[in-house]
Structure 1
């Protein structure tokens, strides 16, 4: 898989990649990334669906404007007509669940990949410290080491490019939101009546398998799945496994 930059369309002020035809699927990336992080899933899912991969404000080609998880979800709902399945990774997973909370009759299904939920005090302190350190010079190496370890790969190289290119103010803003959040509330999950997949990696230290299993148990139609030997960037590093896990959810809708 290559991580080549793709052409964008404008979606009411949000830059997005569009591909395919059929039922709508919206893909939402994580902090510091851009829609090309979904390249493998765009190629696979667009064979049967209309795929819309959205750049978060200040990421990719979407201009930076102040936003929260709630306002970003509301903007997406205003920009897209009709029902759709929401698939998000990391912070994008928070937005995907929020979409279903705000518009339960329009969201056909949700997939939350590498989502956080009720961090431990130690994990909360660690992510808050990382957010506070973003006032200093940008250095993507610690982030890349957490995501990929120390082995070079095309996926690591692509993410390094994206992290260096992202608007620093937008990155700090988004990461601060991510660090302050504890994931969806238990009430939100208990009232998530659409099919919901909580997917993470077996080697994921921050969005842990326990978190995904707990969220799936709370959601009425929730299901957890764990990809062995995968960590935070599994949509890129374990692209085929990730796509294959998503397909049954899309078939249910």
Structure 2
């Protein structure tokens, strides 16, 4: 059962809060819901306090204003962590959630013990940038495309097909305007915090599938090489929704990440 937290008069965040121990905050991607982390919630709520958030305009969370950019989503996360008093935390994000997690550790390193970017993007090529901006315009003007993302995100394996059915249901439940606001920020945010990884001192995991055409292995490798404590994990035979289609492998990588020692935060 989800809980609703009011940040401001016009801003409510819905989230699942399960388990006890060190906080593990999970942030899903565009068009998803916190249930997209179900294999990780089940596994890590045995050892951690798992807080799986619905992004603005997703699930039962209210959307941000039209025109919001990635830093607005980072501020939204900060407001949530302050209101819930759950920092410093371990923060794992997928896709758009990975962009938010990367921005958050850049802006608020004192509030992060460890950071993990699953299927994250980094400085898209000019061709890829044009394609994702075109999709953002199409969403704003014509509705939510189901076939395109599903084709990019999944193979035709039996495991993928099960996850594909769930993902299609979540996408179909999205409000078009909320989807457009978040996707626009996702499309424009891939280079916002890219120069910050050299300054990130905490353990940082960068994970993707070797078949992900948009959150490529090269992107994850570049970020891992820049972060002083970066670790790279490329999962063979999987695409964009690896946390669902390769849950055991992803959970093993997250377990190793959560076992990495952290720096002690000093109060200013």
TM-score (norm 2): 0.88
- Deviation sequence 1:227-250 (CA, Å, 0-9, x none): 111110111111111111111111
The more displaced of 88-97 and 179-188 is 179-188
Within 5 A, what are the aligned runs for 1:207-246?
207-246=215-254
Question: Which blocks of at least 5 consecutive residues in structure 2 are unaligned?
Answer: 7-11, 263-268
1:77 equivalent to 2:69? Answer no
The answer to whether the Cα contact below 8 Å between 2:152 and 2:213 also exists between their aligned partners in 1 is no
Which residue number corresponds to residue 167 of structure 2?
A: 159
The answer (yes or no) to whether the contact 1:97–1:184 under 8 Å persists in 2 is no
- 1:25 corresponds in structure 2 to 24
CA displacement at 1:190 relative to structure 2 = 1.1
Is 139-148 or 110-119 further displaced after alignment? 139-148
Deviation at 1:130, TM superposition (A): 1.3
Contact 1:108 1:195 survives alignment (8 Å) = yes
Aligned length: 247
Q: Name the structure 2 match of 1:4.
A: none
Which of 8, 13, 16 is matched with 2:2 structurally? 8
Name the CA distance, whole Å, in 2 between partners of 1:50 and 1:79. Answer: 15
Q: 1:124 to 1:38 in 2, by over 3 A?
A: same
Contact 2:123 2:194 in 1 (8 A): no
- Kindly report the root-mean-square deviation, in angstroms, between the aligned alpha carbons of the 2 structures: 1.5
1:197 correspondence with 2:202: no
- Compared CA separation, residues 194 and 127, structure 1 to 2 (3 A): same
Q: Report the alpha carbon displacement of residue 154 of structure 1 after superposing the two structures with TM.
A: 2.1
In 2 relative to 1, CA 250–151 (structure 1 residues): closer, same or farther, beyond 3 Å?
A: closer
C-alpha distance in 2 between matches for 1:137 and 1:185: 29
Residue 26 of structure 1: how far off its partner (Å): 0.3
Query: Secondary structure of the equivalent of 2:115?
Result: strand
Whole-Å separation in 2 of the counterparts to 1:148 and 1:233: 7
- Specify every segment of 5 or more residues in structure 1 that has no aligned partner in the other structure, as ranges: 1-6
For the residues of structure 2 that align with 1:137 and 1:106, how far apart are their CA atoms?
37
Deviation at 1:150, TM superposition (A): 5.5
Relative to structure 2, which stretch is displaced further, 163-172 or 62-71? 62-71
Distance 1:139 1:205, change over 3 A: closer
Contact 1:90–1:114 (CA<8 Å) still a contact in 2?
yes
The farther-off stretch of 28-37 and 174-183 is: 174-183
Distance 1:200 1:179 in 2: 18
1:135-162 CA deviation, whole Å, 9 max, x = no partner? Answer: 1143311211111245672211111111
Where does residue 144 of structure 2 map in the other structure? 138
Task: Please give the alpha-carbon distance, in whole angstroms, between the structure 2 residues aligned to 1:118 and 1:79.
Answer: 27
Equivalence for 1:3: none
User: Whole-Å Cα distance in 2 between the matches of residues 213 and 10 of structure 1?
Assistant: 37
Alpha carbons of structure 1 residues 182 and 77: separation in structure 2 relative to 1, 3 Å = closer
